[in-house]
Amino acid sequence: MSTWHSILESRQITIDEQGYSHSTASVNPALSITPLTHLGLFSVTGPDAEKFLQGQISCDMRDISNGFSRLASHNNVKGSMISLSRVMPAEGGYWLRTNRQTLSPAQTALNKYMMFSKADSKDISDTVVGLGIQGSNAATALAALSSELPAETDQFAELEGGILIKVAGERYELWLEQAQAEAALNLLSEDASLTGSESWLLSEIEQGIPSLTPDTLETFIPQMTNLQVFEGVSFRKGCYTGQEIITRLQHRGKLKRPMFRLSVQSDTAPVAGTVLATAARASVGNVVCSAPCGDGEYQLLAVMLKDVFDDEAQSIHLETQEGPQLERLELPYTLDPELFEAKR
C-alpha cells in the first residue's frame, strides 16, 4: 500500500483494486474533495517534448504555452483513440493525466514513437497525486493555496510541486507531489466532505466529458466523444498520428454517432462498452462511462446514432431490446450542426 493510500485510509477513504476511491460521505454542494486515485500521471520530458507531442496527440501544444491545459487523444493510424489524457505543463516538459487502468498502454503507445526524439517518459503516479475540488465554495477554499486562481475553464496556475486547473463547472483538478498534497488536503478538508471517485465521475458526466477504459480503447474517433468541444482536437496544427482520418471527418464527412448523456434505473452499473438497443435494432450505440446518481439510478455517456437519440418516439434500452429503458438528458454544450451535414 502506498503512503498516499495510507493517508487516505486514515480519513475513511478506501481504495479498490482498480484504484477507485470510496467513501460513505455524501457530496457537499458547497465543498467536496475527491482523491483522484482512479487517475494517474506520466511525464514526457526533454528538449523535444513539445515537438514530439505536437506530432502525436490531437490537441495543439501551443495552447499549453498560452496557459491552458487540454484534453487530448493519442490515435492509431485509422484515427481511433488509443488513449485520452489531460495535458498540463511540468518542469522540463509535460504531465499527461489519464485513467489509471489505461496509463500503461497509453505510455507504451507513445514510447513506440519516441525513440528518435530527445524525449523520455516516466510513470509518476506514485509521487504526484490528484485531488478533485468541487462546489460553490471551491474557489474561496483554494484561495488559501494560491493568490491567483485560474478563472477560465482549462486555465491553470502553477504551484510549488504541482498545478491547479480550472475544469468545467465549479470544479478544479489539483495535482501535487505527495507531501504538498497531504498539506493541501489538511488545509482544504476542514469544511469539506471527502467523497469517492464516483462523485467525481458523475460530475464529469454531467459536464459531458468522456473518459476511456480498457474496454473502449481503439473504439471511437475523437469527434465521436465530442472531444472537439473541449479544444481537444486541433484542426489548425500540422500532422499527427491519425490526423488524416480525423480531419476528413470534420471537413468532408458526416458524423453519425456523437456522444450523448442519458440516465437509467438498473441493478448494476452500466459497464463501458455495453450495447444500447431499440425495438427495431439490436445495436445503436455503446456506453462510454457511467456513474451512480441516486438509488439504483445511473447517469452515463454513450456514443450512439444521432437519428435514434433525436427520435423520442424510439425507446432506448440497455444491453438488449428488453433491457432497462434509458432517459435522454441534455448536454451542457451544443454540438456544431455542420458535423452532421453531408459535405458533398
User: pLDDT (tens digit, 9 = 90+) per residue, 210-251?
Assistant: 999 999 999 999 999 999 999 999 998 889 999 999 998 887
Closest CA to 160 of 140, 174, 170: 174
For residue 343, the model assigns a pLDDT of: 66
For residue 271, the model assigns a pLDDT of: 96
Query: Over the stretch 44-99, which tens digit does the pLDDT of each residue have?
Result: 999 999 999 999 999 999 999 999 999 999 999 999 999 999 999 999 999 999 99
Bridge partners, 134 (sequence order)? 32, 171
Bridge partners, 275 (sequence order)? 286
Query: Over the stretch 130-141, which tens digit does the pLDDT of each residue have?
Result: 999 999 999 999
Give CA separation, 295 vs 198, 208, 262, 343, in Å.
14, 22, 16, 45
138-160 mean pLDDT: 94
d(CA 164, CA 146): 9
Domain with CATH 2.40.30 in the chain: 257-328
> In the structure, what pLDDT confidence band is assigned to residue 253 with cuts at 50, 70 and 90?
confident
User: What are the grid coordinates assigned to 202, written together?
Assistant: 458523475
> In the structure, what pLDDT confidence band is assigned to residue 191 with cuts at 50, 70 and 90?
confident
Report the SS3 class of residue 179: helix
CATH architecture of 257-328: Beta Barrel (2.40)
Contact call for residues 316 and 284 (beta carbons, < 8 A): yes
Percentage of the chain exceeding pLDDT 90: 90
Closest CA to 259 of 292, 288, 228: 288
> In the structure, what pLDDT confidence band is assigned to residue 344 with cuts at 50, 70 and 90?
low
d(CA 45, CA 87): 12
Domain with CATH 3.30.1360.120 in the chain: 3-206
Label each residue of 278-307 as H, E or C.
CCCCCCCEEEEEEEEEECCEEEEEEEECHH
User: No. of H helices and E strands in the chain?
Assistant: 9, 19
**What fold does the segment set 3-206 form as a domain?**
Gyrase A; domain 2 (3.30.1360)
pLDDT of residue 1 exceeding 80, the answer is no
Our CA angle for 292, 294, 297, nearest 5°, is: 65
For residue 250, the model assigns a pLDDT of: 84
6-16 mean pLDDT: 95
Task: Give 6's contacts (C-beta < 8 A, 6+ positions apart).
Answer: none
Report the SS3 class of residue 56: coil
Query: Over the stretch 260-297, which tens digit does the pLDDT of each residue have?
Result: 999 999 999 999 999 999 999 999 999 999 999 989 99
Please return the burial class of 195, using the count of CB atoms within 10 Å of its CB with bins 0-12, 13-18 and 19+: buried
> In the structure, what pLDDT confidence band is assigned to residue 151 with cuts at 50, 70 and 90?
very high
